[in-house]
Amino acid sequence: GWFPVHSVYDDMDRDVQPTMPSDLMFESRFESGNLWKAVRIGESEYNLVLRPDLTTGGCLWFYFLTQNMAKNFTYTFNLVNLYKERSMYSSGLRPLLWSEQEYEGTGRGWHRVGDNISYTENSTRRKNGNNHYTLSFQVRFPHGNDTAFLAMCFPYTYTDLQDFLVGLEKDETSSATFTRSELCRTIGGNRCDLLEITAPPKPGNQITDRQCFVISGRVHPGESNASWMVKGMIQFLTGEGHVARVLREQFVFYVAPMLNPDGVVNGFYRVSLSGQDLNRQWSDPGKSTHPTIYSLKNFVKGLNDEGRLLCYIDVHGHSTKRNVFMYGCTGSDGREKCFPRLFGERCPNFSFKDCRFDVDRSKENTGRVVVYREVGILHSFTLEASFCGAEAPQPPPPSPDIRTGTVPP
């Protein structure tokens, strides 16, 4: 039957409020939140519009809370302005839910939800003339009158990072393994951190004599899984394990955990406050418009000038492929494939078959390509992890000959 379609939320207009007692309440005006508008179009159905990225008009990242739901009542949500043609929602990806009452009662945090999930093209147009896509899914909330959050991927905010780093500094064991400095300040005035993880100097083994890995993450704010990977790397490298101690004695690990704090704070998907994708600015970054890229590039070049830079890894999430894999740059003798193959031997969830080493024209201004071509580092990669997780573990690929770099077919 007929239903009075009406708006219930607009993050730019606080006068837009629920008008019916059964209306869901929405909110996204918090750190990393993204929901622009919510319109109730049926008894239990809502059209949701995400706030698109500045200038590009694209978005996949959503993160919002809802209240005033009925227990075990099925709601349908349609996110109507997604921009990618392909999506892992057609291959098993599901949204995430965090329920306040569930967490307080059972300790259960973020978990996958959603039934009758579909991802289809619709008739509304983007600025570039292409159509938008609609993600539809149904949710039965476990509790009534709850506060529940829905998100594209496990959130990891700028505040989460700062709290984590402060905790490491306060820990007596981990604090002895690293120093924390400020790489630069962002357009929004946020701190971009740089960690130096290594062992104290010893006679004949000075820090300045050690080769270096540079690891960066979260240049694309909507790829929150990148932050979780970088956090795991930091926890491992600053830990008490034997392998971590050996690595610290032999190498220096420089980690820039979050290259786009402004985008993370504002709930963007790919851009910064400049309105640009920072991972397309490495060829000629501006000191004032792309300060984190400008500063990290100069830092990387400085290490290379000292003859110490061994490897650069930029950590990302991936929205259209399964598994964890690497993108590299094609060399003349295949040696660039050695590190990913070794990675595949030691990590059952890493997929060497999904690695790629060619360079599309659209990728020529990315970090891994510029560090490879301009700085001259063979081992320059992006480490990608799917939003949809890994397939069943694959048998390890053949081992390369470390001395020659020769890889069996």
Q: How far apart are the first and last CA of the chain?
A: 64
384 is annotated as an active-site residue? yes
Helix (H) or strand (E) holding 254: strand 251-256
Give the whole-angstrom CA distance, residue 227 versus residue 162: 12
DSSP string, 110-168: SEE--EEEEEEEEEEE-TTSPEEEEEEEEEE-SSSS-EEEEESS----HHHHHHHHHHH
Q: Which one, of 66, 143, 157, lies nearest residue 104 by Cα? A: 143
* Tokens linked to 312: 């650069």
Please tell me whether residue 271 adopts helix, strand or coil conformation: strand
Largest CA distance in the chain: 82
Annotated catalytic residue, options 102, 223, 336, 384 = 384
Give alpha helix (H) positions in 139-251. Answer: 158-170, 224-237, 242-250
Give the whole-angstrom CA distance, residue 246 versus residue 199: 9
Burial zone of 13 (CB within 10 Å; 0-12 exposed, 13-18 middle, 19+ buried): exposed
Instruction: Give me the residue label for tokens 């320059």.
Output: 380
Show which residues are catalytic: 384
